[in-house]
Amino acid sequence: MTRPGHRVPDGYDTSAYPSFAVTVDIVILTMRGGHLHVLLVQRGGEPYAGMWALPGGFKRPDETLDQAARRELREETGLVAPKHLAQFGAYGDPGRDPRTNVVTVAYLAVTPDPGSLHAGTDAAAARFWPVVDAVRELSLAFDHHRILSDAVDRAAEQLEQTDLATAFVGDTFALSELQSVYEELWQAEIDPANFRRSLTSPPPSTAAPGAYVEPTGKRAKASPRGGRPPELFRAGGAWRTQPPVRRPRTPRDQDRRTGGDIPE
Amino acid sequence: MTRPGHRVPDGYDTSAYPSFAVTVDIVILTMRGGHLHVLLVQRGGEPYAGMWALPGGFKRPDETLDQAARRELREETGLVAPKHLAQFGAYGDPGRDPRTNVVTVAYLAVTPDPGSLHAGTDAAAARFWPVVDAVRELSLAFDHHRILSDAVDRAAEQLEQTDLATAFVGDTFALSELQSVYEELWQAEIDPANFRRSLTSPPPSTAAPGAYVEPTGKRAKASPRGGRPPELFRAGGAWRTQPPVRRPRTPRDQDRRTGGDIPE
DNA sequence: TTAATAGTGTCTTTAAGACACTATCAG
DNA sequence: CTGATAGTGTCTTAAAGACACTATTAA
């Protein structure tokens, strides 16, 4: 990167390289009532005034991208400790912002349901939307529709590869809560007995560090509609060696893209 | 993203958002003699004059990031058709370029061994390095060491999830070639009989589209040291539903990070 | 009691590891 | 022939799916 005066493309002025604004945008996902939700803010000014958009803002020269993401998260939503926050893509199509050249770096944040949004937030202009609605019915500002879709795809992939599922639930949780995270993101049903076995039995022989979930000895309250109160678990240390649940591969799953193959 | 004048952080001037240069850098991986290699260019001008660096250059306002990556790839290396080219990260730490604020978007390119580099390239200033050497012994310009490491980690992950392995080999290939891609990137030995079974037996029941590899009926020449000439295969269409080879998880694999968890 | 949710036990299927064996080449 | 690489067959183990069954709550 970044070497003016080194093997210069023909006819391209090296002394004056083009200038961009750089922003970070954050896709904040959580589970509410068994369904995946995303936090959106309503835009005040032009362009796209009044439309819903992902929270985000300009990167400053003296901070890293991660710091910018964390700062914007706090400033726009009051959230200070998402359980997961990681970059997942950069977007720089010409004209994606009508005013100027903007490249944005998109982040995926995952948190247990925070209930209401914290201080420092204009609550009227920020709310969680069911992801299904946001994707299908809402017209989002800029290229945020695509960014949101990419984020959800990424989250679904990461469920299978990391401990991302545990970022959706609290420090202690019932297995059925965790299961609903997988079922919602994968749009697939999982047998509760097999799910429990996968999570509670020790990770494949070779791995050392603990289990996937550890019993706390406590139980949650029974649901308002009755039913046995579930045991509460804590996330264990075994996720890094080998995540416990594999995604069902259905035949019609063909259209899921994994990453950039060459389209020509 | 990208909204000057919308919910402005206190004390931050919204009318003049900071300006950045945006570059793309490309990690070009290939297999040579059974070992993973990366293409590096030697820098002409300051800063880091004379040091090895990843090929790359400035994004133009009228092109997408993908187009910029493809253009730089062609301009700096003569490569026009890598089998894989995809973004994998953005890097924007303050001071990563001593001259000005630069955010770079990093791409992973994978190609079968092109032999010599094509026209349009200053061959003296561009060569493939064994990745092991580049990572351990070479001091790279900017933060390119980290970018290279991240690219290799990403490639190793993607082997398990996509058809990336086939991007390292030609249109027809021996299974042993493909196997060496996995073994090199995972630093693990794979039983050739089991590897063959995984690739040549049909993908899990539910999947429809073809096989992982299709026989061409042809055979390669035997190696100079003798041995039976291998069958040549073509990549099939089954990779997208469920990749054929799972990565061995060793106990000491714990240190492999999967993505940004929260470090606090 | 019934409806609802949580949790156990077990049989079967399938993927993966181990490894002995055969096949075909160069020299 | 030997050494080297390619390819087949089979036994065993481990993970995952299916599903019948028991347990504990609210109303």
SS3 category, B195 = helix
SS3 category, A88 = strand
Within 7 A of a protein CB, which nucleotides of strand C? 3-10, 14-20, 23-27
A156 CA, C12 C1': Å apart:
30
Tell me the DSSP string of B115-131.
SS--TTS-GGGEEEEEH
Work out the average pLDDT over B146-150: 98
Work out the average pLDDT over B159-173: 96
- pLDDT over 80 (residue B202): no
The pLDDT score that the predictor gives to residue B208 is: 61
The pLDDT score that the predictor gives to residue A123 is: 54
The pLDDT score that the predictor gives to residue A247 is: 85
The answer to which of A210-224, B90-104, B204-218 has the lowest mean pLDDT is: B204-218
Tokens 């206190």, located at residue: B10
The pLDDT score that the predictor gives to residue B240 is: 80
A194 CA, C11 C1': Å apart:
14
The pLDDT score that the predictor gives to residue A260 is: 42
CB contact under 8 A, B90 and A65: yes
In angstroms, the CA A64 to CA B103 distance is 10
Give the minimum alpha-carbon distance from A199 to chain B in angstroms, rounded to a whole number. 17
CB contact under 8 A, B249 and A94: no
SS3 category, B197 = helix
- Which residues, 6 or more positions from B118, have their beta carbon under 8 angstroms from its beta carbon? B77, B78, B79, B80
In angstroms, the CA B89 to CA B77 distance is 21
pTM: 0.90
Question: A124 vs B10, which has greater pLDDT?
Answer: A124
CB contact under 8 A, B7 and A44: yes
In angstroms, the CA A121 to CA A78 distance is 6
- pLDDT over 80 (residue B5): no
Give the minimum alpha-carbon distance from B58 to chain A in angstroms, rounded to a whole number. 6
The answer to which of A179-193, A224-238, B119-133, B213-227 has the lowest mean pLDDT is: B119-133
The pLDDT tens digits of the residues spanning A8-43 come to 443 444 557 899 999 999 999 999 999 999 999 999
- pLDDT over 60 (residue B262): no
In angstroms, the CA B44 to CA B77 distance is 15
Q: Which residues of A are less than 8 Å from B206 in CB distance?
A: 249-251
In angstroms, the CA B133 to CA B38 distance is 10
**Cα angle at A121 between A20 and A51, to 5 degrees?**
55
Per-residue burial over B226-258, b = 16 or more CB atoms within 10 Å of its CB, e = otherwise: eeeebbbbebbbbbbbbbbbebebeeebeeeeb
Q: Would strands B102-110 and B84-91 be described as parallel, antiparallel, or unpaired?
A: antiparallel
User: How many residue pairs from chains A and B have C-beta atoms closer than 8 A?
Assistant: 246
Give the minimum alpha-carbon distance from B95 to chain A in angstroms, rounded to a whole number. 8
The continuous run of DSSP H or E covering B181 comes out as helix B175-186
- pLDDT over 90 (residue B65): yes
In angstroms, the CA A131 to CA B106 distance is 29
Within 7 A of a protein CB, which nucleotides of strand D? 3-10, 14-20, 23-27
Work out the average pLDDT over B111-133: 82
| Residue B62 token pair | 């009228």
Q: Considering Cα of B94, then B96, then B97, then B99, what sign does the dihedral take? A: positive
The pLDDT score that the predictor gives to residue B174 is: 98
N-to-C CA span, chain A: 25
In angstroms, the CA A185 to CA A78 distance is 25
Residue nearest to nucleotide C6 (CA to C1'): A228
The pLDDT score that the predictor gives to residue A171 is: 97
| Highest mean pLDDT of the ranges A117-131, B86-100, B116-130 | B86-100
The pLDDT score that the predictor gives to residue B204 is: 66
The pLDDT score that the predictor gives to residue A210 is: 79
Give the minimum alpha-carbon distance from B162 to chain A in angstroms, rounded to a whole number. 6
- pLDDT over 60 (residue B3): no
Which nucleotide is closest, CA of A205 to its C1'? D14
Q: Evaluate if the CB of A228 falls below 7 Å from strand D.
A: yes
Q: Which residues of B are less than 8 Å from A256 in CB distance?
A: 240
CB contact under 8 A, A162 and B53: no
> Which of A2, A105, A162 is best to mutate for the B interface (most B CBs within 10 A)?
A2
Residue ranges for chain A with pLDDT beneath 50? 1-13, 251-264
